[in-house]
Amino acid sequence: DIQMTQSPSSLSASVGDRVTITCQASQDISNYLNWYQQKPGKAPKLLIYDASNLETGVPSRFSGSGSGTDFTFTISSLQPEDIATYYCQQYDNLPQSTFGQGTRLEIK
Amino acid sequence: QLQLQESGPGLVKPSETLSLTCTVSGDSISSSGYYWGWIRQPPGKGLEWIGSIFYSGNTYYNPSLKSRVTISVDTSKNQFSLNLSSVTAADTAVYSCARHKHLACFDYWGQGTLVTVSS
């Protein structure tokens, strides 16, 4: 099984800050990685697919990069509405899919 | 606008079978060419893919749950369903249905429904 290690598990930042979350795969997954945002009590929302592609309608302050085993998710300027938990998800070994444990983002 | 809505009992007894249905509106399961999946999230924990189905009935399951999971589709009702047998407290979770685009990403989700396993 491919394990996804996300860090940090929680993060506190100020409005306007640049925020970075990392996800490491236990083996090479090429660019088969997505990022989701989940606000409290809501379903996850797809933000980034194939490691670096912005889903339609998602603000450009969100971005993703990486390939192989190491991936990064960035919010260039944190906004109050970005408070959420963020998850990475790999889909290298189709059809199986695994998620990272999540990063809880709070406003400082 | 594609919408998904889960329905089913919110409380299931241990050893019994959890049954949920996802009703899709705004698109036809049989003509969309997409897979449709189930994901769960235990309270305070992360996301776990359960399995996915194509309109033809082709299914894929998470190996860790495969022995207890059955996913089926009813194209006439534009619905797909989840059965999870022999449940325990560890199966308590919010269960969500989603469109599993190309078996890669989940791009539309239902709101999720909490299922508690308790006597």
**Is B43 within 8 Å of chain A by CB?**
no
Identity at A37, one-letter amino acid code: Q
For chains A and B, count residue pairs whose Cβ atoms are closer than 8 Å.
53
| Angstroms from A76 CA to nearest CA on chain B | 23
Rounded to an integer, what distance in angstroms lies between the CA atom of residue A46 and that of residue A54? Answer: 9
Contact assignment for A94 to B104 by CB distance below 8 Å: yes
To 10 degrees, the CA torsion angle through A38, A47, B23, A94?
-110
Chain A residues lying within 8 Å of B106, measured CB to CB: 36, 44, 46, 89
Distance of CA A63 to the CA centre of its chain: 9
Rounded to an integer, what distance in angstroms lies between the CA atom of residue A13 and that of residue A55? Answer: 24
Work out the average pLDDT over A30-43: 94
Confidence of residue B33 (pLDDT cuts 50, 70, 90): confident
Structure tokens at B43: 């309270």
Nearest to A17 by CA among A81, A77, A85: A77
**Is B112 within 8 Å of chain A by CB?**
yes
Q: Is A43 exposed, middle or buried (0-12, 13-18, 19+ CB in 10 A)?
A: buried
Confidence of residue A101 (pLDDT cuts 50, 70, 90): very high
**Is B42 within 8 Å of chain A by CB?**
no
- Integer-rounded Cα Rg, in Å, for chain B is 13
Identity at A93, one-letter amino acid code: N
Work out the average pLDDT over B44-60: 94
Checking if the pLDDT of A96 tops 90, the result is no
Contact assignment for A42 to B103 by CB distance below 8 Å: no
Chain B residues lying within 8 Å of A100, measured CB to CB: 46
Checking if the pLDDT of B31 tops 80, the result is no
Rounded to an integer, what distance in angstroms lies between the CA atom of residue A19 and that of residue A104? Answer: 12
Rounded to an integer, what distance in angstroms lies between the CA atom of residue B38 and that of residue A69? Answer: 26
Work out the average pLDDT over B28-52: 92
Contact assignment for A98 to B106 by CB distance below 8 Å: no
Look at the alpha carbons of B105, B110, B116, B117 in this order and tell me if their dihedral is positive or negative: negative
Confidence of residue A91 (pLDDT cuts 50, 70, 90): very high
